[in-house]
């Protein structure tokens, strides 16, 4: 893990391609960059209204032709891989290797560099993607993010209907505000490459939280007494499938809930990259309380 100070030497003339720009994290990144003078292009699967100063390109990361077109004139790529399988990424990685941009890849804090196999399919695909990028000679800068606070948005429908969040339990983790991850990513994307190493930068929040803790903090923000109800794996699987989630995603989430080990790791890498401490989940809940109102 690098022990760095805040990156310096911003390259204001950067031309940056942001993938996953319609998602919770990608949207935060793509909307921050224009204010720093970067030329920004977003790659999205369907046409959306981009932030001011952002060129939007419709394409799929699994389509090498679309990726090749999106990379024209780009010197840096912010990469979020959206699938639970790294095999379809080989074409993408080949295009990146041919074009030769800097790559900033968003991975997971749960990746264990010493393990032959990772704890669950979600972590495994991140480890596989890191390996693919390194093996292609791209020398990516890796941002290993902890659980994003924005994942709590998945509870909104339940909380509009009642005061209980039901689902699979997971190991406690240092939940991190996606806005902090975005600020850290922007700092890395704009930094002169000579002021950075490849990481991994391990981005965590300031406290380790259980699902019970998160739901209670949401309750405080919305001024309701909320509680979390952990479901056995079979019940959680049935509920998620009934909600219409894809089977392969459901199985990956169940595996993560059963197999991913607890961690108490908290780092200051957000502060090192951004110059300020990581925010709390409690503040995130206050800022987003309206999303969980009845």
Which of 48-57, 152-161, 177-186 is least confident? 48-57
Residue 246 forms part of a structural domain: no
In a domain, 258, yes or no: no
Mean pLDDT score, 32-37: 94
How far is 264 from 23, CA to CA, in rounded Å?
27
CATH of the domain at 48: 3.40.50.720
Task: State the alpha helices, DSSP H only, in 145-266.
Answer: 156-161, 178-190, 211-222, 233-242, 247-259
Asked, for residue 136, whether it belongs to a domain, the answer is yes
> CA nearest 99: which of 79, 128, 70?
70
Asked, for residue 191, whether it belongs to a domain, the answer is yes
Name the residue range of residue 63's domain.
15-147+177-204+266-278
Q: Which residues pair with 104 in a beta bridge?
A: 78, 141
- What is the total count of domains within the chain? 1
Share of the chain above pLDDT 90, in %: 85
Q: What confidence category does residue 48 fall into, taking pLDDT thresholds of 50, 70 and 90?
A: confident
Q: What is the pTM of this model?
A: 0.93
- CA 229 from chain center: how many Å? 25
- Closest among 36, 33, 75 to 55, alpha carbons compared: 33
Torsion of CA 172, 177, 183, 187, to 10 degrees: 0
35, part of any domain: yes
pLDDT in tens, 205-250: 999 999 999 999 999 999 999 999 999 999 999 988 988 889 999 9
Q: Could you check whether the bond before residue 96 is cis, i.e. omega within 30 degrees of 0?
A: no
Please give the pLDDT value at position 52. Answer: 84
In this structure, is residue 117 part of a structural domain?
yes
Q: Is residue 94 part of a domain?
A: yes
6 — pLDDT class (breaks 50, 70, 90): low
User: What would you measure as the largest C-alpha separation in the chain, in angstroms?
Assistant: 55
């Amino acid at each position: 893990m690098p022990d760095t100070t805040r990156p310096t030497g911003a390259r204001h003339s950067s031309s940056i391609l942001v993938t996953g720009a319609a998602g919770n994290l990608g949207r935060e990144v793509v909307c921050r960059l224009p204010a720093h003078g970067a030329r920004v292009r977003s790659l999205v699967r369907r046409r959306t209204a981009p932030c001011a100063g952002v060129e939007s390109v419709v394409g799929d990361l699994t389509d090498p032709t679309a990726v090749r077109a999106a990379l024209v004139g780009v010197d840096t790529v912010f990469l979020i891989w959206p699938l639970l399988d790294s095999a379809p990424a080989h074409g993408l990685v080949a295009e990146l290797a041919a074009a030769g941009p800097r790559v900033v890849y968003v991975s997971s804090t749960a990746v264990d560099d010493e393990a032959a196999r990772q704890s669950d399919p979600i972590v495994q695909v991140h480890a596989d993607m890191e390996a693919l990028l390194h093996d292609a000679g791209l020398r990516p800068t890796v941002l290993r993010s902890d659980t994003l606070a924005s994942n709590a948005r998945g509870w909104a429908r339940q909380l509009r209907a009642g005061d209980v969040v039901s689902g699979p339990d997971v190991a406690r983790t240092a939940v991190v505000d996606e806005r902090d991850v975005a600020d850290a990513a922007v700092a890395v994307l704009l930094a002169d490459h000579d002021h950075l190493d490849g990481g991994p930068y391990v981005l965590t929040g300031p406290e380790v939280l259980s699902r019970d803790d998160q739901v209670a903090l949401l309750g405080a923000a919305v001024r309701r007494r909320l509680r979390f109800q952990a479901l056995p794996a079979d019940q959680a699987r049935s509920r998620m499938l009934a909600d219409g989630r894809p089977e392969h995603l459901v199985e990956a989430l169940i595996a993560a809930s059963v197999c991913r080990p607890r961690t108490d790791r908290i780092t200051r890498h957000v502060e090192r990259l951004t110059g300020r401490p990581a925010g709390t989940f409690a503040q995130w809940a206050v800022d987003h309380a309206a999303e969980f109102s009845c």
